[in-house]
Copies of this chain bind each other. A is one copy, B any other.
Amino acid sequence: MLLLNLDKASRVPFYRQICERVVQLVDEGALAPGDRLPPTRSLAATLGVHRSTVLSAYAELWALGYLESRSGSYSTVRRRAPPLAAREVSGDAAPAATAPAAVRWEAIVTPAARRARDDAVRLKEERGARDGLIDFARLAADPDLAPHEELRRSLKAALVRRGGELLDYGDPRGYLPLREALARRMRAHGIAVSADEVVITNGAQQGLDLVARVLARPGDGVVLESPTYSLALSLFRLHGLTARTIPMRPDGMDLDVLAKVLARRRPALVYTVPNFHNPTGITTSQAHRERLLALCETHRVPLVEDGFEEEMKYFGKAVLPIKSMDARGSVLYLGTFSKVVFPGLRVGWIAAPRACVEHLVAVQRFSSLAGNTLAQAAAAQFCSSGAYEAYLRRVHRVYRKRMQTMLQSLRDALPAGVEWTRPAGGYTLWLRLPASKPDERTLVERCLRAGVKVVPGSQFFPRPPDLPHLRLSIACVTEGEIVEGCARLARALAAKSGA
């Protein structure tokens, strides 16, 4: 007899409950192959449900391969592949090994995958947000400032106006109204591109991945600032590329060194973050940008401009993106909403010369068909409704104050010998510590003990630097937390070795 209790209060339909219970009984071995199930009519009577409910459950079980039924006869339990049916599965525990592995995964994965896995292990950070810990590490727009309501409205408006279209396969280039909205926005930054020269990506990281797939073969050199965005380093390593590093000076990458590097051998690309450079916070001048572009043009090298926080300038004059001067079609511009508004929306873009766009789109198409049109339509609506502008004006005031507070607090609290940058926008500042201080790892741990989380500078360098550095971010801390965080930082830096 089948032991079955229906939970009449549950939202799970009865037929589904019957189905799940039978699956469980079979998997546990309580029902064996060949066992008969009760006739639908009598089970329905026992359970006090309509017979059609039991029929649905049996039909489902049959579709799942749990039952055999010969018409006009009993339903019986079907013989299923035995080893896995009995296997224990839980959310966390590794299932007990049932048989020796056939494929030697460790041995056969590609070098690229192995490098990525090793990097993932190296960059693993303790996520534990301890109570009272002040977070100078996090680099993403403050969720407390996020325009949730406006995004919800944008999503709703997009669904109402274009429902069906948004749930169908999208264009591999991205949703046209968004490409148009972005072309308009970029135009306001002096970048003259049409919607046809824009490719929507799954965030700027996937944009950079696409660029690497189109421009760089394993073994190629890529020119990078040193330090630079740590996940760009990981991405280029994943692709098997060799980093040719150009030291950062207070005004941006050292262009004299770049000139020499470019003269030696043509790299696959030059990667630069001209605004609020991650990690240093440096913004380069118009003159620096002009010379950088001229160097790339001379050597016919694509320049990848990561404009990830283009909209986040709080102090001083705006400097136009390098792409705005790109009369000879050498610049690939990467943009994203992730660092400014919603990281989880995963909407970024590439503005590129036409001759490059067709390759980007073809690789995009065959590697993922298309992006998420729904998110793209919400972003388009968010831009064109004016909500994005309004949001930017609101958060600029907040972040400007935070940055001012951070700069003042560092001046007030830190000991002599520590140097730091004075960013014109964005979220990050960069501290250089004197050689007399202990190593970074120790410093970061002391900071954690003092109750402030910072990022060790070494992860931004392809090769370990001589002096210890720390990256601080104002993204997700209040002014009060900034003052207190700097005091804690100062205590951690002042502590005697071994303390």
Q: Is the CB of A109 within 8 A of B214?
A: yes
Contact A190:B103 (CB < 8 A) given known A318-B62, A362-B120: no
Q: Is the CB of B359 within 8 A of A116?
A: yes
Task: Enumerate chain B residues within 8 angstroms of A80, measured Cβ to Cβ.
Answer: 190, 320, 324
Task: List 19 additional contacts besides A108-B302, A205-B367; criterion CB under 8 Å.
Answer: A11-B385, A62-B318, A64-B189, A64-B190, A93-B194, A94-B354, A103-B328, A105-B353, A109-B214, A112-B213, A116-B362, A155-B159, A168-B343, A209-B368, A338-B369, A344-B373, A345-B374, A346-B369, A372-B375
Return 18 A-B CB contacts under 8 Å, by A number: A16-B389, A64-B190, A65-B189, A81-B325, A84-B324, A84-B327, A89-B193, A94-B354, A103-B300, A109-B359, A111-B217, A116-B363, A120-B358, A140-B168, A148-B163, A203-B368, A206-B368, A344-B372
How long is the Cα–Cα vector from A167 to B341 in the complex, in angstroms?
9
- Give the number of residues in A that approach B within 8 Å (Cβ atoms): 138
| Contacts of A445-473 to chain B: CB distance below 8 A | none
- The residue that A194 contacts in the complex, of B95, B112, B163, with Cβ under 8 A, is B95
Provide the A192-213 mask, 1 if CB < 8 A to any CB of B, else 0: 1111100000110110010001
The count of identical subunits is 2
Q: Is the CB of A170 within 8 A of B102?
A: no
> A403 an interface residue at 8 Å Cβ cutoff?
no
Task: Enumerate chain B residues within 8 angstroms of A205, measured Cβ to Cβ.
Answer: 366-369
- The residue that A346 contacts in the complex, of B100, B318, B372, with Cβ under 8 A, is B372
Stretch at the interface among A42-50, A230-238, A249-257, A272-280: A230-238
Q: Is the CB of B329 within 8 A of A102?
A: yes
How long is the Cα–Cα vector from A202 to B363 in the complex, in angstroms?
14
Contact A85:B190 (CB < 8 A) given known A103-B302, A169-B140, A366-B116: yes
Task: Enumerate chain B residues within 8 angstroms of A188, measured Cβ to Cβ.
Answer: 19-20, 23, 64
Q: A336: shortest Cβ distance to chain B, in Å?
A: 10
Q: From A289, which residue of chain B is reached at the shortest CB distance? A: B81
Task: Enumerate chain B residues within 8 angstroms of A411, measured Cβ to Cβ.
Answer: none
Task: Enumerate chain B residues within 8 angstroms of A389, measured Cβ to Cβ.
Answer: 13, 16
Q: A74: shortest Cβ distance to chain B, in Å?
A: 16
How long is the Cα–Cα vector from A306 to B353 in the complex, in angstroms?
36
Q: Is the CB of A367 within 8 A of B13?
A: no
A residues contacting B by CB (< 8 A) are 11-13, 16, 19-20, 23, 56, 62-65, 68, 80-81, 83-85, 87, 89-95, 98-106, 108-114, 116-117, 119-120, 140, 143, 146, 148, 151-152, 155, 159, 163-164, 166-170, 180, 183, 187-196, 202-203, 205-206, 209, 213-217, 231, 234-235, 238, 268, 290, 296-298, 300-302, 313, 317-320, 324-330, 338, 342-346, 353-356, 358-363, 365-375, 385-386, 389, 393
